[in-house]
Structure 1
Amino acid sequence: MEVSTDLVRGCLLYDFKVGLLAAASSRRICQAFGDSAVNERTVRRWFKKFKSGDLSLRGEPRSGRPQVLNDGVLKAAIEEDSSLTCGEFVRQFNVSNETVRIHLHRLGKTFKLSKWVPRTLLEVHKRQRVTACISLFSRHRTASLFNRVLTSDEKWVLYETPKRSRHWLSPQGAAPHTARPPMHSRKIMLCVWWTGRQVVHYELLPTGQTVTGDLYSQQLKRVQQALSQKEPALVNRKGVLFLHDNAKPHVARVVRDTIQQLGWETLCHPPYSPALAPSDYHLFHSQDNHLRGKSFTNEADLRQALTDFFASKTPEFYRKGIEQLETRWQKVLDADGDYFED
């Protein structure tokens, strides 16, 4: 919502006269007119002006030519708060919207949405991520881990995934409409296990069933049978290095006992780290692209589509997915344990 500068300044004068603090005034105005209406720094500047005895609502005197905006000053403001909008910069520096945009472009800045992460990492989580990656790096450099890794994960798969296409249109052209999927789309839970060569085993859970420790334990026994047929060397000679996340069913006592009985070794996976899970950053990403725009009327058709997708991928595809772990471990270390950009 665009709000006039005069209206905002009138509200600022009122708030100053009734004794509101700058922070409270900023919140009140943004609540009424939108988050970009004003920022606290601008409110403080106007309150300082009012306090000096100048109650006029005029901005700083300006010449007939547009005011020059210094790139260094704008860059410093961005570094202080990168979430400020163009409108907020306009009010802060008393320049035109076009001037702000030109300087932002000159600085190479683009306005991007923040990314969702599992949770805000505490220092203890960052240390856990660093410690895990150092340990994995050290072991991998002694003897490569990747030809022994078996990894797994779960994911909801939709029966219908609409695809929004892009279109070349004239400036006045209206884009075609694509209906949103239902809020509660029909879906099914996929559980998959794979190595650097192939998908070893996958299951689709019956409707209403969730992964529990007991179910997961039984699934791992079925995976062992599949491994014996598809990758006997991994079972009989090399030994399985099992990489999965820390979801509650995965760390249940019954699961730990089953992994020990199978003779597998569990690789360290730090909490809140989907970017270190090959299924999340590699397999599921490709799977989503493959299924986008497709519809399935029944489980059999969806199952066949998944089977075809897994079979269509070469061993090189699976190998690359596992080997990316090394680069991602390094990114965690470079970020001192924090999340990193892909």
Structure 2
Amino acid sequence: MVGASIANFTEIRGYIKGRAVLGKSATEIFKDVVDIYGKGWMSYRTVCRWAKKFASGRVSIENDTKTGRKVSISTKLAEARIQELLLEDARYTVRELAKLTGVSSSTVHFILKKQLKVRKITARWIPHLLTVEQKRSRVQCARKILKMAQKIEKNNFPDLVMGDETWIYFENYEPHRKISNKVWATKAAKRPCIAKRTMSVRKMLYAIFFTARGLAIQVPVPKGRGITGKFYRDVVLKKLDKYFGKIQPKSGMRHIKLLHDNAPVHKAAIVTDFLSGKHVTVLQHPPYSPDLSRCDFFLFPRLKKILAGRKYSKRPSVGSAIYQCLISIPTKDYIRAFQMWLKRLKI
């Protein structure tokens, strides 16, 4: 209805313009407007005003753009004060800023949106804020790895292997991302409920390693056990040694470059002794830097996305499903994961 009113007013002004150009008087034009459009659409004074404008040479039939209220000196002072307060603490609310500056909440809102052009966003949650020393360690690790980057990347990362541990559920019914829980609903509809996983839900711990060629090994941890230094050396790393023994029989695991995180199991003396005895180069992983782990940012999310919606009743079935999922990932995606890792190191 509002749109129709605006259209009629524009149409009437167009009619007034045409009649005014022909030299018709405002009285004649008003009479014609009433005859054509009916009473109440436009007053006699308004017709006179528009007729005078068009007779004076006005071309546009649209209303003039309103400039709005001029910014007063007090508003400018409030703007400067608000800017100072936000530099001190960007978490102030509109009400708090209004109280501190002595202006109304609407004025504060106007200054924030129109003058300062700022918006309020929620801070991103991260597990840890790195200390200066940890940041320095991250930079040093990145520089060391990037020095050998050209040799590593030259032949599509032939000697680089990454690995970590992850939990795999028997029933993968929960969406893999929180945004997947959103649904379209009316105002009267009830919010849907999703059960949170509990410790009693059946799951298996897997150690998975991959190279640029694809999946290297997947090792299930026996039921009721965790990964210890002895298990990691005697089962996981020895299986990885057999894998490289088949891939490159002459050198085997010798001189490969291994990247795993700083878990205590990975740093155990028996593990480091085994790797040094095999002449494996362990790439340093900076503390609290999960973004540099391609397992957490490529392999595991990809695996759990594929497994979403599937249910298994036996442990061998889970292992078979993991294997099928990981070998289905194209080789180019594994190579790209390593390329993205190097790119992340440069940031």
Q: Distance in 2 between matches of 1:317 and 1:212?
A: 31
Q: Distance in 1 between matches of 2:346 and 2:193?
A: 41
Q: Find the counterpart in structure 1 of residue 322 from structure 2.
A: 306
Q: Distance in 2 between matches of 1:234 and 1:279?
A: 28
| Counterpart residue type for residue 89 of structure 2 | D
Q: Is the 8 A contact 1:239 1:263 kept in 2?
A: yes
Count, aligned residues: 263
RMSD of equivalent CA atoms: 3.2
Q: Find the counterpart in structure 2 of residue 180 from structure 1.
A: 195
| Counterpart residue type for residue 166 of structure 2 | K
Q: Find the counterpart in structure 1 of residue 65 from structure 2.
A: none
C-alpha displacement at 1:191, in angstroms?
0.7
Match for 1:115 among 119, 122, 125? 125
Deviates more, 1:273-282 or 1:154-163: 154-163
Alignment CA distance shift 1:144-1:316 (3 Å)? closer
Q: Distance in 2 between matches of 1:166 and 1:181?
A: 15
Q: Find the counterpart in structure 2 of residue 124 from structure 1.
A: 133
Q: Find the counterpart in structure 1 of residue 243 from structure 2.
A: 226
Rg larger for = 2
Pairwise mapping of residues 291-302 of structure 1 onto structure 2 (< 5 A)? 291-302=307-318
SS in 2 for 1:147: coil
Alignment CA distance shift 1:97-1:224 (3 Å)? farther
Match for 1:284 among 279, 282, 300? 300
SS in 2 for 1:178: coil
C-alpha displacement at 1:142, in angstroms?
5.6
C-alpha displacement at 1:83, in angstroms?
3.6
The one-character-per-residue Cα deviations of 1:245-279 (angstroms, maximum 9, x if unpaired) are: 12111111111121123332111222221111111
Pairwise mapping of residues 1-342 of structure 1 onto structure 2 (< 5 A)? 74=82, 76-85=84-93, 88-89=96-97, 91-92=99-100, 94-96=103-105, 100=109, 103=112, 107=117, 109-117=119-127, 119-141=128-150, 144=153, 146-161=157-172, 162-163=174-175, 164-170=180-186, 172-174=187-189, 177-184=192-199, 185-218=201-234, 219-229=236-246, 231-232=247-248, 235-236=251-252, 239-331=255-347
Percent of aligned pairs with the same residue? Answer: 21
C-alpha displacement at 1:290, in angstroms?
2.5
Alignment CA distance shift 1:128-1:101 (3 Å)? farther
Alignment CA distance shift 1:80-1:255 (3 Å)? same
The one-character-per-residue Cα deviations of 1:112-149 (angstroms, maximum 9, x if unpaired) are: 243122x3322221111111111111221465373321
Alignment CA distance shift 1:68-1:271 (3 Å)? same
Q: Find the counterpart in structure 1 of residue 46 from structure 2.
A: none
C-alpha displacement at 1:81, in angstroms?
2.5
What TM-score, normalized by structure 1, do the two folds share? 0.66
SS in 1 for 2:213: coil
SS in 1 for 2:266: helix
SS in 2 for 1:249: coil
Structure 1 residue ranges without an equivalent (≥5)? 1-64, 332-342
What TM-score, normalized by structure 2, do the two folds share? 0.65
Q: Distance in 1 between matches of 2:220 and 2:301?
A: 18
